[in-house]
Structure 1
């Protein structure tokens, strides 16, 4: 079942509205700002084993806890920052996920030095298959398995499948990314 179809089946209305906002305004749309890309990666990693609804409800808390997804700040987090995150009931308090966020911020900094930005690194590797992306992410980042990589890349428009072709949002995404329509 696609995300488009799932939203139509949800009840009650507040749950449906939470997902509808993400579906209509964020899911599958391109992101070019490195901190926002990094934030989406943090969110996808934290979703592993949980519902996306849980993550959407905690998005603002994640932003606050992780310095508004500022890569440079998160890369410099100390042991005290790790302990603060593990004690924060507003986010997912999983040691592997917290450590992955910090280590992945450091990995993004390396990519920024080499490619100019995280966005440029993604563009450089654009049009890889899902399996090629997964292999690359596993080599580059922590806590990035197949489902996390797939959802991250679909959510930022790098892999197809975020929306059904008959979904009105699909057409909006093509307007933002005309080169994707040729894939």
Structure 2
């Protein structure tokens, strides 16, 4: 079912992400925003490339602090487009900045990004994609699917026989929402 459970163990980049983050529910706004942004940067590229550039992306995007990224201006865009350590795609960079502003708006409308996700759970993938496309930029089916699987909101992050899945299940019912 999930090839990632075979590839990731022992891999220097895939392993730590697979074992400790992928499929694990989170509610921290910065972590949620980072995960959404990483999925946006991955579109059309390999996940390994994103993981290799994760540290540089975090530095370039102020640790994915929503308020700091939402305040980015044209000088920041130029800085980001000149940064060879990150994925330099203007549409993706613009989407990240605009999405930070939209996450700020979710604070007022729903109490935050995590509360917005929870308010719409459960849904099937097509309904999630429609919702994300009306709320965020650069969020097609693959971005939305991988983002929500990374949070455990949609099933499929791990196989049933994967040790990471066993650790997630051991967290209890509040953590297993899929």
Do they superpose with TM above 0.5?
A: yes
Of 50, 64, 70, which aligns to 1:69?
Answer: 64
4+ residue runs over 4 A deviation: 179-183
Of 95, 98, 102, which aligns to 1:100?
Answer: 95
Of 16, 25, 29, which aligns to 1:30?
Answer: 25
Alignment check: 8 A CA contact 2:41 2:50 kept: yes
Corresponding residue number in structure 2 for 1:121: 116
Structure 2 residue 57 is matched with structure 1 residue 56:
no
- Say what the alpha-carbon RMSD is for the aligned residues: 1.5
Alignment check: 8 A CA contact 2:153 2:177 kept: no
Give the secondary-structure state (helix, strand or coil) at the position aligned to 1:22.
Answer: helix
Alignment check: 8 A CA contact 1:31 1:156 kept: yes
Alignment check: 8 A CA contact 1:31 1:37 kept: yes
Of 98, 107, 111, which aligns to 1:112?
Answer: 107
**TM-score normalised per structure 1:** 0.92
Q: How many residues align?
A: 177
- List gaps (5 residues or longer) in structure 1: none
How far apart, CA to CA, are the structure 2 residues paired with 1:53 and 1:182? 27
Alignment check: 8 A CA contact 1:30 1:176 kept: no
Corresponding residue number in structure 1 for 2:158: 163
**TM-score normalised per structure 2:** 0.94
